[in-house]
Structure 1
Amino acid sequence: MGRTDRSYKDLKQKQKSAIADKTYSMYIRFYLENHRMPNADEKSSICKKLFATVQAVAPKTDYEEFCRIVDKREAGYEDRILRDIQNGITLEKLNMKKRKKTPEEKAAVLKMKRKQRRAKGKAMKNQAVENNICQNDTFFYIAGYTSGGAPYGVTWQEMGLEPWQDLEEAQ
C-alpha cells in the first residue's frame, strides 16, 4: 500500500503533524504518570514506539535522524505540558475516547439547526421589511431584479403615492 522509497522528510505536512501529535500525547501521558520528563532510556523507548509508526508510512527513515527530530520537538514540550496541566488536562481526560453520537442525538442536533436556520431566515425577512430594503426612489415594492440587475415591481405612481410617502398618510 505505502511507498517504499519515502523518508520522513518526504511525508506530507499533515502526516508529520499527526506524528507530532502522537509524540506529544506520549510525552504528556508519561509526565502525568511519573510527574517528570523522561530520562534518556525512557526517551529511547518512546522514540522506538514512535519509530515503528513512522516506519509504516516512511520505510526509508533512519532511526537516528528520527530520534533527532523527536529530541528537537521535546525542547518545548515541558512548558506546553505544564500549561496544559494548569488548564485541567488529566490522565482520565487523555484516556477518554470521543464518544460517537447516537442516531437520536444526531437527529435532535439536525432538528435544532433547522429550527435555528428558519428563525434566522424569518428574522432576516422581518428586518428587510422593517428597513424597507424592498423599496427605492422609483419602486414602492421591488419584486425582483432582471438578469442585467435592473429592479422591477410596483412603482410609487401605480400605488398613487409620492416617493417615500407612508400608506397611512395617503388615506
Structure 2
Amino acid sequence: MGVIATDKLNAMTTDTEEKPTRKKPPRKKPPQPQVPYKKLKQTQKARISRWMFEAVCKYYKEHQQMPPEELLEPMCRELYPKMHGTAPKASFEDLLAVFRKKQAHFAERIEKNGLP
C-alpha cells in the first residue's frame, strides 16, 4: 500500500500523503422575511407581551411611575434578544411599536390590579 506506481495510469497516493482539500466558504443564511406582529402565533405574542409587562413592572417598582416615552426604545432593545429568540421573523421596529401601543394598557392594568 505504501508503494507509488510510476506510470501515470496507475498513480495512487499512499496512506501518508493527503489529498489537498478545498475549503468551502461558509454559507450565509439568507435574511428571513419580516413578519408583522399580528401574523405571529398567539403563544409568541403572549410571551412577548408578558416580557414587556414584566419590564414595565420592574421599572415601576424602582421609580414609582410608568417609563417615559424616551426610555421605551432602550427598554425594548434590552428585551429584543429574548423576543427575537421567540419570534425571529419579527422586526425590532414592529416590536417597539407594539411596546409603545401597550403602555396605556399596562398603566391601566397596574392601577387596577397593582404590581404582580
> Which TM class, normalised by the smaller chain length?
0.5 to 0.7
Query: Equivalent residue for 1:80?
Result: 109
The alpha-carbon deviation at position 59 of structure 1 amounts to 2.5
- Segments of 5+ residues of structure 1 without an aligned counterpart are 95-171
Query: Equivalent residue for 1:69?
Result: 98
1:22-101 mapped onto 2 (5 Å cutoff): 22-85=51-114, 89=115
TM-score of the two chains, using structure 1 as the length reference: 0.43
The two structures, once aligned, show a CA RMSD in angstroms of 2.0
Alpha carbons of structure 1 residues 64 and 6: separation in structure 2 relative to 1, 3 Å: closer
CA distance in 1, matches of 2:48, 2:105: 16
Pick 1 or 2: higher relative contact order, CA cutoff 8 A, min separation 6: 2
Pairs aligned (count): 84
* Large movers: runs of 4+ above 6 Å: none
Higher helix share: 1
The alpha-carbon deviation at position 43 of structure 1 amounts to 1.0
The alpha-carbon deviation at position 6 of structure 1 amounts to 6.1
* One-letter identity of the residue aligned with 2:99: V
1:143-162 mapped onto 2 (5 Å cutoff): none
The alpha-carbon deviation at position 83 of structure 1 amounts to 2.0
**Is residue 15 of structure 2 the alignment partner of residue 15 of structure 1?**
no
Q: Give the secondary structure class of the aligned counterpart of 2:66.
A: coil
Higher strand share: 1
Greater C-alpha Rg: 1
Query: Equivalent residue for 2:26?
Result: none
CA distance in 2, matches of 1:16, 1:9: 8
CA distance in 1, matches of 2:61, 2:112: 13
The alpha-carbon deviation at position 5 of structure 1 amounts to 4.7
Asked if the contact 1:37–1:78 (Cα under 8 Å) also holds between the matched residues in 2, the reply is yes
- Segments of 5+ residues of structure 2 without an aligned counterpart are 1-31
